[in-house]
């Protein structure tokens, strides 16, 4: 190879490396815009226990916006002389995409509030604890949502617990708990990935199928008593239904 050819090859390698770095930076930037800043911890949690995590990726910023909209509306409409703390519970904190959004909303105006975040995975809970350590209104608790027993009730529950992956008894315990810890008139908003349940139902056979259908019916029965709105969010992996329930 003569000197000119060597320069061309080096130039090609340099250009390719530059394109690779630029593509990776674009992908990382895009992922951050789509999933927020703490998505890496979510994927580590996924490796530890995919069934418990229950989704192929963190929820997107679009899901976060939809699922927190009633909290946003309440804060916007709130009487600023009312000093009763607004109480919000997030269940299944995960990557913290909803937690960050809730913190932004609740800090918008100078209102008293508390935000409890429940996360069963110790690694994810630990990351959330570090992230919110300087905010005295936010407390992260590492436990099963079915066992959370606060001595006050909530105005809002925002939940991303993967009901379709949990056993029926746990689902029933969590739903009964939600019902008892939300104030009358309070909201429960939860996310359900769009195609998981029908696909799983199609694949399962025999007793496992019966149990799964029973569980879906338990969730449906709870939802239908209180449902006020169901919104589909397509910009998510996978697209998701957001259910908003109001406890009468
Ligand atoms: C689908 S992920 C979504 C988390 C978060 N919204 C996000 O997008 O990163 C569900 C989360 O619920 C947590 N989880 C599952 N079962 C739970 C339970 N019984 N109690 C509390 N958290 C639970 C999982 O560890 C996981 O972090």
| CA of 42, closest atom in ligand 1 | 9
Which residue minimizes the CA distance to atom 2 of ligand 1? 53
Answer whether 98 contacts ligand 1 (Cβ < 6 A).
Answer: yes
pLDDT of residue 168: 92
Pairwise CA distance, residues 176 & 151, whole Å:
16
More confidently predicted of 170 and 29: 170
Please give the C-alpha separations between residue 101 and each of 37, 95, 115, 163, in angstroms, as whole numbers: 12, 12, 12, 22
- Token pair of 179, please? 């019902």
Bond into 193 cis (ω within 30): no
pLDDT in tens, 46-71: 788 888 887 888 999 999 999 999 99
Answer whether 182 contacts ligand 1 (Cβ < 6 A).
Answer: no
| CA of 118, closest atom in ligand 1 | 21
Measure CA 41 to chain center. Answer: 13
Q: Where are the alpha helices (DSSP H) in 78-186?
A: 97-107, 122-131, 168-181
Among 37, 209, 196, 171, residue whose Cα is nearest residue 91: 171
Number of neighbouring beta carbons within 10 Å of residue 154: 23
pLDDT of residue 9: 66
| CA of 55, closest atom in ligand 1 | 1
Answer whether 100 contacts ligand 1 (Cβ < 6 A).
Answer: no
Sheet bearing 182-193, strands edge to edge: 138-141, 113-118, 86-91, 154-159, 182-193, 240-246, 227-233
Please give the C-alpha separations between residue 90 and each of 101, 103, 139, in angstroms, as whole numbers: 11, 11, 10
Work out whether strand 240-246 and strand 86-91 pair parallel, antiparallel, or are unpaired. unpaired
| CA of 58, closest atom in ligand 1 | 8
Answer whether 97 contacts ligand 1 (Cβ < 6 A).
Answer: yes
Which residue minimizes the CA distance to atom 18 of ligand 1? 144
Please compute the mean of the pLDDT values over residues 140-144 and round it to a whole number.
Answer: 97
Q: How far is the CA of 28 from the centre of ligand 1 (A)?
A: 23
Which residue minimizes the CA distance to atom 13 of ligand 1? 92
What's the mean per-residue pLDDT of the chain? 89
Please give the C-alpha separations between residue 163 and each of 55, 218, 229, in angstroms, as whole numbers: 11, 10, 19
Asked which of 23-37, 113-127, 212-226 is least confident by mean pLDDT, the reply is 23-37
* pLDDT of 120 higher than 80: yes
Pairwise CA distance, residues 245 & 226, whole Å:
5
Q: How far is the CA of 43 from the centre of ligand 1 (A)?
A: 12
Answer whether 145 contacts ligand 1 (Cβ < 6 A).
Answer: yes
Q: How far is the CA of 226 from the centre of ligand 1 (A)?
A: 23
Number of neighbouring beta carbons within 10 Å of residue 213: 13
Candidates 34, 57, 94: which one to mutate for ligand 1, based on the most atoms within 8 Å of Cβ? Answer: 94
* pLDDT of 25 higher than 70: no
Percent of the chain with pLDDT over 90: 68
**Whole-structure pTM value:** 0.88
Number of neighbouring beta carbons within 10 Å of residue 86: 20
Q: How far is the CA of 120 from the centre of ligand 1 (A)?
A: 7
């Amino acid at each position: 190879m003569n000197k000119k050819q060597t320069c061309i090859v080096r130039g090609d390698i340099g250009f390719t490396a530059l394109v690779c770095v630029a593509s990776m930076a674009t992908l990382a930037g895009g992922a951050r815009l789509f999933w927020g800043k703490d998505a890496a911890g979510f994927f580590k949690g996924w490796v530890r226990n995919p069934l418990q995590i229950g989704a192929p990726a963190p929820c997107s910023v679009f899901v976060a916006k939809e699922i927190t909209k009633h909290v946003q509306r309440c804060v916007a409409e709130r009487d600023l002389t009312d000093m009763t703390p607004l109480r919000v519970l997030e269940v299944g904190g995960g990557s913290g995409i909803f937690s960050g959004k809730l913190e932004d909303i609740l800090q918008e105006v100078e209102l008293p509030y508390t935000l409890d975040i429940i996360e069963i995975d110790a690694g994810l809970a630990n990351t959330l604890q570090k992230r919110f350590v300087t905010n005295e209104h936010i407390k992260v608790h590492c436990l099963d949502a079915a066992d959370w027993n606060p001595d006050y009730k909530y105005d809002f529950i925002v939940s991303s617990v993967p009901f379709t992956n949990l056993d029926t008894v746990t689902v029933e315990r969590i739903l009964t708990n939600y019902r008892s810890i939300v104030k009358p008139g309070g909201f429960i908003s939860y996310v359900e990935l769009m195609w998981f349940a029908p696909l799983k139902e199609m694949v399962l056979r025999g007793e496992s199928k019966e149990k799964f259908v029973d569980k879906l019916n338990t969730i449906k029965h709870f939802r239908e008593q209180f449902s006020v709105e169901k919104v589909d969010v397509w910009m998510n992996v996978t697209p998701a239904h957001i259910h908003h329930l109001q406890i009468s």
